[in-house]
């Protein structure tokens, strides 16, 4: 029985799972939107919410805790400088999961994991050509 054992195993060893989640969190903070499977998105959401909360705190200890997990100084700087102030008024719920159907190869349920204030950059030249 798995009583009181939080988290999904995702069919990986613990070291592989930790590395995968670190990479997913780093990619999400960098690009603000990633496409993955639904179980992976739900697990990454748990970690990314904690990282953004550390970014909102903004002190040195929080920065060192974030660096211990993310290990990219540029991404941590973005987390503390831009995203921390961007979500300062929001009490949790920094990400959204949008289900997109199933993957063709193995019918895995796919989803888009994105930050709540994500805005897709539309090329203005294309918008002018359509008019």
Residue 94's closest CA among 37, 55, 129? 55
Give the count of beta carbons closer than 10 Å to the beta carbon of residue 69.
16
pTM of the model: 0.88
Q: What is the pLDDT of residues 2-58, one digit of tens each?
A: 999 999 999 999 999 999 999 999 999 999 999 999 999 999 999 999 999 999 999
Q: Residue 28's domain is classified under what CATH number?
A: 3.90.1030.10
**DSSP single-letter state for residue 113:** E
Cβ atoms of residues 56 and 81 within 8 Å: no
Separation between Cα atoms, residue 15 and residue 50, nearest integer Å: 20
Domain contains 6: no
Q: Residue 120 pLDDT > 90, yes or no?
A: no
108, part of any domain: yes
Q: Which domain holds residue 75?
A: 14-130
The answer as to whether 25 is a domain residue is: yes
pLDDT tops 90 at residue 119: no
Is the residue at 1 inside a domain?
no
Q: In the Cβ-directed half-sphere of 54, how many Cα atoms lie within 13 Å? A: 20
Tell me whether residue 27 is in a domain.
yes
- Count how many domains the chain has: 1
Question: Could you report the per-residue pLDDT of 64-73, keeping only the tens digit for each?
Answer: 999 999 999 9
Q: How far apart are CA 91 and CA 131, in angstroms?
A: 41
């Amino acid at each position: 029985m798995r009583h009181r054992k939080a988290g999904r195993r995702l069919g990986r060893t613990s070291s592989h799972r930790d590395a995968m989640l670190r990479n997913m969190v780093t990619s999400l903070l960098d690009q603000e939107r990633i496409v993955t499977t639904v179980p992976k998105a739900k697990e990454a959401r748990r970690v990314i919410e904690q990282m953004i909360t550390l970014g909102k705190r903004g002190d040195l200890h929080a920065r060192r805790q974030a660096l211990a997990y993310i290990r990219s100084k540029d991404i941590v700087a973005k987390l503390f400088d831009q995203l921390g102030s961007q979500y300062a008024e929001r009490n949790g719920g920094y990400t959204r999961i949008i289900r997109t159907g199933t993957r063709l190869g193995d019918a895995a349920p796919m989803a888009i994991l994105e930050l709540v204030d994500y805005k897709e950059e539309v090329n203005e030249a294309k918008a002018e050509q359509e008019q």
